Amino acid sequence: MAIQNLEWRARVVVEGFWSGLHRSPYHGFSVEFSEYRQYAPGDDPRFLDWRLYGRTDRHFVRKFEDETNLRCFLLLDLSKSMDYASRGVLKADYARTLAATLARFLHLQGDAVGLLSFDERIREAVPARNRPGHLRRLMLALEKECGGVGTDLATPLKRLLEILKRRSLAVFISDFMSPLDGFELPLGTLRAGGHEVVVFQIADPMEEDLDFGDTVRLKDLETGREIDLDAPTFRERYRAKRAAHRQALEAICARHGTAVRVLRTDTPLEWALLDFLKARRQRGRGNAARM
Amino acid sequence: MSLLAPLFLAGLAAMVAPVLWHLIRRRPQETAPFPTLMFLEPTPPRMTKRSRLEDLLLLALRLLMLALVALAFARPYFGKPTVTASSGEETRKRLVLVDVSASLQRPGLWDAALERAEAALRELTAPDLAEVWVFDESMRQVFGAESWRQGPVAERATRALDALRKEKPGWKSTWIGRALVSSVEQLEALRTTGGAGIDKLEVVLISDFQAGSHLDGLAGHNWPKGLEVKLEPVSRGALGNASLQWIGDAEGLSSPGAAATGQRVRVQNHAKSKSQELRLGWVKPGSTTLVGKPVTIQVPPGQSRTLVAPAKEGGEEVEALWLDGDETAFDNKLYRVVNEEESLNVLALSDETAAGGSSMLYFLKRALVETGRHKFQLIHKRGGEALLPGELAAARSMVLMEPVSEEAWRAAGEFLAAGKTVMAALRGTGAAPALAKLAGVDQLPISESTGGDSILSRLDWDHPVLAPFAEARYGDFTRIRFWKHRKIDVSAIPGARAMAWFDQGDPAMVEIPVNKGRMLLLTSGWHVEDSQLALSSKFVPLLYRVLEWSGVIVDQPTQYRVGAEVSIGPGKEGETRRWSAPGGVETVLASEVSRQRVDAPGIYQLSGAGKPRRFAVNLAPAESRIEPMPSDELERLGVPVKAVPLETKTAEAGSSEKRAMQEAVAEFEGRQKGWRWFLAAAIMVLVVETLLAGWFGTRTAVAA
């Protein structure tokens, strides 16, 4: 995170794995032919297939699966718990970089990218667009400070359900440091709506391992509550609880056909992204080039 | 190891503090932020084996440091002191010196002084020796060492106190300096006559230590070794005071008409006074009620006012001024005696015809002016004029100024025969036969000097007439030029004594005894033809000195300070002289008594053959300065003052043996100064503890 500017940081990461992919970002469109339909009065005569009319003397309208490029919404957790770094990189910075990188990548592909940042409520909502300058707006929204007194994982998903009209991609970036109650239902609804969901969990090494040497007084970043903790004694129990929490998250995601990708702030972001893209390419349907 | 002040070991209780601190310290000191506590719950702190070890070492060091500090305060010493105060030997020579000056007249002070004296005497033990003295301007013994030694041990202090209780504060001023020096001499004498024991000399000085005390003689005094002066201040009640003092009257001189217009007084209000409105007026004896018209004056504290005393009203018995309204009353009365002017007849015999500066009489008239005390009546007789009956007898002095007639010389002879003094000035050589006759010689050649101008080159300063001029700044007579003088052979006159000589060696002034009287012969006149004498500054003093010498002017001061000696002159044969003191005490004086000491303020009277003489005696002004002197004043002057007040010592000390032991132990400990080592060790431990704690701190941080 030597580069302070988020846009430049994203650009560096994107160029890095671009060259690794050897795939042109301008290859292929999201406009897909879907079916013919008999013309009905009121249909736009532009979409009449004149060749077919010539051959069959019947009026048919060409229908496309999608009239625009892919829509992608980045759901970014900017709660206080993200404002933590045991060594060097803040989880929030890591998440911002991830979001910015994806946004840039998609933007370059000509996709529309939107943003929903949240803590216990929606903080910033940027609609999905692909206009020149939109990326800049996204970057500004991403640079907002962390805040709030908690994290509500369901709220952004519910909001997304309200605003999504077409099949979209939702990238959920959070540390998932909150109860998972209420997360599954909107996720299930989203998936049932045909939307694709990608889940990233950002984790700090310290919160993974609870590696405090001695008795320590800990303060909750979100609620401000303090407790005295004898870390060596409690470490194993903590790890177990955390593992259980992750398993629960993975189970929820698995039930709805998605997976959780854990990104530790001590691993370089490029690697993590590359890993992710390769995996998606292997998933087939040929749209790995897109994501 | 023993302890001088074991009470300080209570400080060991402070050792609980580090233990408590170490227990509390188990709780984390710093707070670390954490994203969420949802997987965590509070756990009680747990001691690890390693930290316990480290902390125990630090705890031990901290406890050791505290213990060392507590021990240092407890003043440890090693070994056993040897107590010098073994029974049967005289160890302490104590001189209790009690102030009986006028300032002790203030209410309560004398009782306080007696209490202090009692405390000082009662704490003495059998081998000790004590004397009790009182002092004001001088010292006197109240209870001697011999009486102390001979008395039963149990009753010594009581007897000494009984003797002291007979004393009362007087009216004299405080001379602490003299008293201390004399008392130390007394103690030294006791030491040499005492036993073989180790002497400890103590002076217990009980006084109000007023600022007006005289400390003369203390600076630079060589105090003997082993002497301790313990100061016992007695100071009670109000310290504010205003004092009253006559001005310009110290010598008893007063200006003409002072009795009628009133005399100037200075009212001084001292800095610690609370009142500043004062009233000044006359009072009757034994009363403090102001009579007549008292004046009200405003004198702010620390300032003084000079004013003309109110006119005396209320009759003859009123004889003192009273200052009303200040806080301390003992010095508020100011006595006053105004003597009437004395009329003195001076017979001037001269046939001078010249006037003005050429006439000796001209200067004589102007020299004898009226003073407040004396009124001169100059009776001038020419040769032809006969002396009226009684005039010669009434005259106190005679001045012969040539040219004079035979008659005048004869009158001088009579005057001299009566034992009086004649002053004669030669103008020519014509008086030789008369002078020879008067001197009782056949021939006395007198010749005019031909040497020209001359000055007085040699004077006999031992002669009573010239003695007052002996000091260098008064003794320069060389500026007076003499144009003419006469030569006279002094050796031809039996008993004659020249007292001044011209530079040619001729006598200028000669004293010639004639019968019972004395004649002062001047070989040159003081008029301008003969000399500049009358024009010089020496003429009037010389003339008055001659009158004093001849007994015409008698210096009779009427104002004295308490403690002074009033000069009354020897009594005449057959005369009964009575001396009346203020309390109505009257004593008949023996004829050889020429001085009388006055010990109390008031009006004294000497009555005898002549007119009664009265004297006013007042307090010394310094005695009115009752505010205490700076506490370190005596120490500053080098007096070996012992700092510990007697009271504290008597309060905590039990039996005498115990006390002696305590003193010995304190001295022993003072020599060893073991506490220093304990304190140094505590500092060392502190350093080690700090280094160790720092090292453990960094190690823990690195491990974390």
C-beta atoms of B39 and A216 within 8 A: no
Neighbours of B245 (CB within 10 A): 20
Interface test with B, best of A146, A230, A264 (most B CBs within 10 A): A230
Which strands make up the sheet holding A260-264, listed edge to edge? A122-129, A112-118, A71-77, A168-174, A196-203, A260-264
DSSP chain A: -----HHHHHHHHHHHHHHHHT--TTS--S--EEEEEE--TTS-GGGB-HHHHHHH---EEEEES-SS--EEEEEEE-BGGGS--SSS--HHHHHHHHHHHHHHHHHHHT-EEEEEEESSSEEEEEEEE--TTHHHHHHHHHTPPPB-SS--SHHHHHHHHHH--S-EEEEEEE---S--TTTHHHHHHHHHTT-EEEEEEEE-HHHHH----SEEEEEETTT--EEEEEHHHHHHHHHHHHHHHHHHHHHHHHHTT--EEEEETTS-HHHHHHHHHHHHHHT-TTGGGT-
Question: Tokens in use for B117?
Answer: 């004296």
Element (H, E) at B132: strand B129-135
Residue A247 lies in a domain: yes
Distance separating alpha carbons of residues B594 and B565, to the nearest angstrom: 10
**Total domains in the fold of chain A:** 1
Nearest chain B residue to A80 by CA: give it. Answer: B35
Which strands make up the sheet holding B613-618, listed edge to edge? B559-561, B613-618, B602-607, B577-580, B586-589
Nearest chain A residue to B30 by CA: give it. Answer: A217
* Least CB–CB distance from A84: residue in B33, B42, B45: B33
> Which residues on A lie below 8 Å from B704 (Cβ)?
212-214
Which residues does residue B372 pair with via DSSP β-bridges, in sequence order? none
Distance separating alpha carbons of residues A116 and A126, to the nearest angstrom: 6
Nearest chain B residue to A238 by CA: give it. Answer: B39
Residue B88's pLDDT is 44
Question: Each residue of B654-692: pLDDT tens digit?
Answer: 455 676 677 778 888 888 888 899 999 999 999 999 998
Counting every residue written for chain A, the total comes to: 291
Neighbours of B116 (CB within 10 A): 23
Question: Each residue of B107-123: pLDDT tens digit?
Answer: 888 999 999 999 888 88
Per the listing, tokens 């004299």 go with B172
* Least CB–CB distance from A230: residue in B30, B45, B703: B45
Distance separating alpha carbons of residues A66 and B248, to the nearest angstrom: 131
- The SS3 of residue B425 is strand
Residue A273 lies in a domain: yes
Element (H, E) at B518: strand B517-522
> What ipTM was estimated for this complex?
0.78
Distance separating alpha carbons of residues B27 and B634, to the nearest angstrom: 61
| Amino acid in position A254 | A
Judged by a CB distance cut-off of 8 A, whether residue A236 touches chain B is no
Residue A175 lies in a domain: yes
Return the number of CB contacts < 8 Å for A and B: 92
Residue A115's pLDDT is 94
| Torsion sign, CA atoms B674, B677, B678, B679 | positive
* Least CB–CB distance from B28: residue in A216, A234, A245: A216
Distance separating alpha carbons of residues A281 and B317, to the nearest angstrom: 140
B-contacting residues of A 97-116, CB under 8 Å?
none
Element (H, E) at B603: strand B602-607
Question: Each residue of A38-81: pLDDT tens digit?
Answer: 888 888 888 888 888 899 888 888 776 544 467 889 999 999 99
Residue B250's pLDDT is 40
- The SS3 of residue B459 is strand
- CA torsion angle B402 B404 B410 B415 (round to 10): -50
B-contacting residues of A 201-220, CB under 8 Å?
204, 207, 212-220
Q: What mean pLDDT comes out for the span B556-563?
A: 82
Residue A35 lies in a domain: no
Q: What is the mean pLDDT of chain A?
A: 81
Residue B687's pLDDT is 94
Conformational region of residue B621, where left means phi above 0, alpha means psi within -120 to 50, and beta covers everything else: alpha
> Which residues on A lie below 8 Å from B43 (Cβ)?
228-230, 233-234
Residue A94's pLDDT is 92
Judged by a CB distance cut-off of 8 A, whether residue A82 touches chain B is yes
Residue A42 lies in a domain: no
Question: Tokens in use for B511?
Answer: 């004293």
Counting every residue written for chain B, the total comes to: 704
Which of B293, B568, B521, B534 is closest to B398 using CA atoms? B521
C-beta atoms of B34 and A204 within 8 A: no
- Contact call for residues B605 and B582 (beta carbons, < 8 A): no
Residue B542's pLDDT is 92
> Mind telling me how many Å the CA of B33 is from chain A's nearest CA?
5
Nearest chain A residue to B32 by CA: give it. Answer: A218
Question: Each residue of B517-557: pLDDT tens digit?
Answer: 899 999 999 999 899 999 999 999 999 889 888 877 776 77
CB neighbour class for B348 (10 Å; exposed up to 12, middle 13-18, buried from 19): buried
Q: What mean pLDDT comes out for the span B225-230?
A: 85
- The SS3 of residue B667 is helix
* Least CB–CB distance from B32: residue in A217, A222, A233: A217
Nearest chain B residue to A202 by CA: give it. Answer: B35
Judged by a CB distance cut-off of 8 A, whether residue A180 touches chain B is no
Distance separating alpha carbons of residues B597 and B704, to the nearest angstrom: 97
Distance separating alpha carbons of residues B689 and B460, to the nearest angstrom: 91
C-beta atoms of B27 and A238 within 8 A: no
Residue B135's pLDDT is 93
C-beta atoms of A228 and B43 within 8 A: yes
Cis omega before residue B640 (within 30°)? no
Judged by a CB distance cut-off of 8 A, whether residue A287 touches chain B is no
Residue B47's pLDDT is 54
Question: Tokens in use for B452?
Answer: 């020209």
Distance separating alpha carbons of residues B695 and B704, to the nearest angstrom: 14
Q: Which positions in chain B have a beta carbon within 8 angstroms of at least one beta carbon in chain A? A: 26-28, 30-46, 48, 51, 700, 703-704
C-beta atoms of B37 and A225 within 8 A: yes
Interface test with A, best of B30, B39, B55 (most A CBs within 10 A): B39
> Which residues on B lie below 8 Å from A234 (Cβ)?
40-41, 43
Find all residues with CB under 8 Å of B335, minimum gap 6, and list them.
B319, B320, B601, B602, B603, B616, B617, B618
Which CATH number is A252's domain given? 3.40.50.410
Judged by a CB distance cut-off of 8 A, whether residue A81 touches chain B is yes
Q: What mean pLDDT comes out for the span A279-285?
A: 58
Question: Each residue of A197-239: pLDDT tens digit?
Answer: 889 999 998 888 888 877 788 888 888 888 888 888 888 889 9
C-beta atoms of B34 and A218 within 8 A: yes
Residue B410 above 90 pLDDT? no
Strands (E), B220-300: 227-233, 242-246, 264-269, 277-283, 290-298
| Torsion sign, CA atoms B465, B467, B468, B471 | positive
Element (H, E) at B122: helix B109-122
C-beta atoms of A220 and B43 within 8 A: no
Distance separating alpha carbons of residues A182 and B615, to the nearest angstrom: 122
User: End-to-end CA distance of chain B, in Å?
Assistant: 47
Residue A76: give the domain boundaries: 6-14+68-279
Q: Which residues of B310-322 are buried (b: 16+ CB within 10 A; e: fewer)?
A: bebeeeeebbbbb
Find all residues with CB under 8 Å of B660, minimum gap 6, and list them.
B83, B84, B85, B91, B125
Residue A105 lies in a domain: yes
> Which residues on A lie below 8 Å from B48 (Cβ)?
214
Residue B643's pLDDT is 65
> Which residues on B lie below 8 Å from A216 (Cβ)?
28, 30, 32
Nearest chain B residue to A216 by CA: give it. Answer: B28
C-beta atoms of A212 and B700 within 8 A: no
> Mind telling me how many Å the CA of B686 is from chain A's nearest CA?
27
Nearest chain B residue to A213 by CA: give it. Answer: B704
> Mind telling me how many Å the CA of B9 is from chain A's nearest CA?
37
Residue A152 lies in a domain: yes
Residue B1's pLDDT is 77
* Least CB–CB distance from B37: residue in A175, A220, A230: A220
Higher pLDDT, B253 or B670: B670
Neighbours of B658 (CB within 10 A): 10
Question: Each residue of A110-166: pLDDT tens digit?
Answer: 788 999 999 988 998 999 988 888 989 999 999 888 888 888 999 999 999 998 888
Q: Look at the pTM and tell me if it is higher than 0.90.
A: no
C-beta atoms of B43 and A230 within 8 A: yes
> Mind telling me how many Å the CA of B41 is from chain A's nearest CA?
7
Which of B240, B245, B241 is closest to B267 using CA atoms? B245
C-beta atoms of B28 and A215 within 8 A: yes
Distance separating alpha carbons of residues B333 and B618, to the nearest angstrom: 8
C-beta atoms of B45 and A215 within 8 A: yes
> Which residues on A lie below 8 Å from B34 (Cβ)?
84, 207, 218-221
> Which residues on A lie below 8 Å from B31 (Cβ)?
217-219, 226
C-beta atoms of A222 and B27 within 8 A: no
Residue A54 lies in a domain: no
> Which residues on B lie below 8 Å from A242 (Cβ)?
39
DSSP B345-405: EEEEEE-----GGG-HHHHHHHHS---SSEEEEEEEE-TTSPPPTTHHHH-SEEEEESS--
Residue B10's pLDDT is 87
Question: Each residue of B124-145: pLDDT tens digit?
Answer: 888 888 899 999 988 999 998 8
Question: Tokens in use for B597?
Answer: 């000491």
Judged by a CB distance cut-off of 8 A, whether residue A94 touches chain B is no
